[in-house]
Amino acid sequence: MDGLHRVGKRATSVTFQACQAPLFKNGDYPQAFLVREPQETYISCMNKASFFSPTAGRIIDAPRETRARFGIGDVVRHRNHDFRGVIFDIDPVFANSEEWYESIPLNLRPRRDQPYYHLLAENEESSYVAYVSQQNLMSDADGGPVDHPSLSQIFEDFDNGRYHLRRGLTH
């Protein structure tokens, strides 16, 4: 089995790649070989990678490598709904609950096999957290800063069309 490491973050792409991690006889992974993100642990098996999603309450299978169109700190806008936000996390594939996915009308339901983004979102009425598929997002760097009460906990100031993670939150 392989331990999957998030190896790169750029303004335009995030790449996930695998590396070797031995398995103990009882099936546990040694701590030194696991990469623990704030909400997920990545592991890989053969041509697939897997991670546990607390939101979905299950292990999610994903390709060993995927490319995200947007990066953490990018400002984006939804293609069909009137809201925008700042990306603060990326899932390589759909990793939310089945109930959430099934609640989307079938004719609007996005594919599962694409990156999904966690946004600090805003519209004319409120601020909230959104979970959006890559196919439903477009860049909004020219739209100016986002007004969300949690921004200052995660990001530094808006600069050149994007936000930069606070130094203590990067690895």
What tokens were used for 112?
A: 């599962």
Nearest to 70 by CA among 59, 53, 85, 50: 85
What tokens were used for 8?
A: 């790169």
Question: What is the per-residue pLDDT for 47?
Answer: 65
Instruction: Report pLDDT digits (tens) over 46-55.
Output: 467 888 888 8
What is the H or E stretch that residue 50 is in?
A: strand 48-53
Instruction: Report pLDDT digits (tens) over 107-132.
Output: 999 999 999 999 999 999 999 999 99
From first to last of its 171 residues, what are the pLDDT tens digits of the chain? Answer: 333 333 333 333 344 443 333 333 334 433 333 333 444 444 444 467 888 888 888 888 888 888 899 999 999 999 999 999 999 999 999 999 999 999 999 999 999 999 999 999 999 999 999 999 999 999 998 889 999 999 999 999 999 999 999 987 765
Using alpha carbons, list the distances in angstroms from residue 153 to 76, 79, 168.
19, 27, 11
Angle at 20 between CA 17 and CA 21, to 5 degrees: 120
